[in-house]
Amino acid sequence: MSGTKNIAVLGSTGSIGTQALQVIKENSDVFCAEVLVANSNADLLIQQALEFEPNAVVIADETKYLKVKEALQPKDIKVFAGTKAIEQIVEMETVDVVLASIVGYAGLASTINAIKHKKTIALANKETLVVAGELITKLALENAVNIYPVDSEHSAIFQCLVGEWENKIEKIYLTASGGPFRGKTKKDLQQITKEQALKHPNWTMGAKVTIDSASLMNKGLEVIEAKWLFNLRPDQIDVIVHPQSIIHSMVQFEDGSIKAQMGLPDMKLPIQYALGYPQRIKNNFPRFDFLNYPEFTFEKPDLETFTNLKLAFSALNKGGNMPCVLNAANEIAVEAFLQDKISFLKMSDVVANTLEKMPFIKSPNYSEYVQCDKEAREIALQQF
């Protein structure tokens, strides 16, 4: 592998971003942090910029611009602020790969612009494909842009497919840990607190993704993302609960053979794989030991208790703007739950009601997606 890959880390202060910077640091002969983008965590962004000395940084929160600029003045690092700057920064000629890890709908515009400017995408923002999968895949095709998945489940599917491009997929299995409330009934979930919901048994993630994992919405969003990443029909995607989180996902081919990708739950591995593809880069991550896991178990997800997964499949089957509505309503619901405004179970009700109330658009364009996202959020907010 000759030279280094210059990475733009969008969402550098978040869970994926901070782990990506660890990967970049440990492989400084292979990767360089060319651009760092953060939402409002100016202190951590400054700290990261002083350590990695990128070409440029962007802080979305314009009130923090001066603080960041003054702190980085001695280093001659370019500093920009605002959401428009995030969209534009990906155009930099020196950027090779854009790691899209801004959480939620907020990551859509910058990813679209990066594709238009023919940047390779390492996609950690599943909402991009959930909201506008048809538009994104069409754009990627038109611009001959590769999208490499960072989510552990989609990375697993991708790894299983390497060398199998000519062979047709019969089915994929996305594995789910089941989250902290696996096996609980709706009655059990009535009094759940955010502190309980934020304790994931296997993975360390940001608050939004952790709550989505507890409600199984995360798996629903992954189902929709998988449809677009791997060009699948909804009936080719299955979800199976695997509490040990060692098998990250599986592909079943037309001959009945199944390939699985396994490993300890560590997001640094799929991040490194996406950034380094097609090379596998040597690392010192902890290794899996079969004797520590004498049993793997599997079970069906409980769609009656965790209705979010059922709602996601329904939105996927209907298509059009419905996944966009699902995502918008869920972002509002999760934020409300984290602020103690609604209960754990109420989140699903908010999503279901919003899906019912929003008009259906079969093939939305970009401005219709933007409008749809805005309207869905307004409808969701009216429910508490």
CATH of 5-149, one of 2.40.50.140, 3.40.50.300, 3.30.70.1090, 3.40.50.720: 3.40.50.720
pLDDT of residue 181: 95
Q: Which helix (H) or strand (E) holds 173?
A: strand 169-176
pLDDT of residue 243: 95
pLDDT at 201 over 80: no
Q: What is the pLDDT of residues 40-58, one digit of tens each?
A: 999 999 999 999 999 999 9
**76 vs 23, which has greater pLDDT?**
23
Nearest 5 degrees, angle CA 157-CA 162-CA 166? 105
> H helices within 53-179, ranges in order?
65-72, 83-89, 108-116, 127-142, 152-161
Q: What is the pLDDT of residues 24-39, one digit of tens each?
A: 999 999 999 999 999 9
- What average pLDDT does the segment 218-234 reach? 97
pLDDT of residue 1: 44
The position carrying tokens 């600029």 is 69
pLDDT of residue 2: 54
Q: What is the pLDDT of residues 326-352, one digit of tens each?
A: 999 999 999 999 999 999 999 999 999
- What average pLDDT does the segment 196-220 reach? 89
Output the DSSP codes for 7-23.
Answer: EEEETTTSHHHHHHHHH
pLDDT of residue 92: 97
Q: Which helix (H) or strand (E) holds 328?
A: helix 322-338
pTM listed for this prediction? 0.94
Q: Percent of the chain beyond pLDDT 70?
A: 99
Q: Where are the domains of the chain?
A: 5-149, 154-317, 319-384
Burial class of 249 by CB neighbour count within 10 A (0 to 12, 13 to 18, 19+): buried
Q: What is the pLDDT of residues 160-190, one digit of tens each?
A: 999 999 999 999 999 999 999 999 999 999 9
pLDDT of residue 200: 81
Please give the DSSP secondary-structure letter assigned to residue 282.
P
CA dist list (Å): 286 to 205, 206, 269, 274, 283 = 18, 22, 10, 19, 9
pLDDT of residue 36: 98
Q: Which CATH class is domain 319-384?
A: mainly alpha
Answer for the pair 260, 250: CB distance below 8 angstroms, yes or no.
Answer: yes
Q: What is the pLDDT of residues 265-298, one digit of tens each?
A: 999 999 999 999 999 999 999 999 999 999 999 9
State the amino acid at position 270 in one-letter form. P
pLDDT of residue 3: 77
The mean predicted confidence, pLDDT, of the chain is 96
Q: Name the most confidently modeled range: 102-106, 209-213, 373-377.
A: 373-377
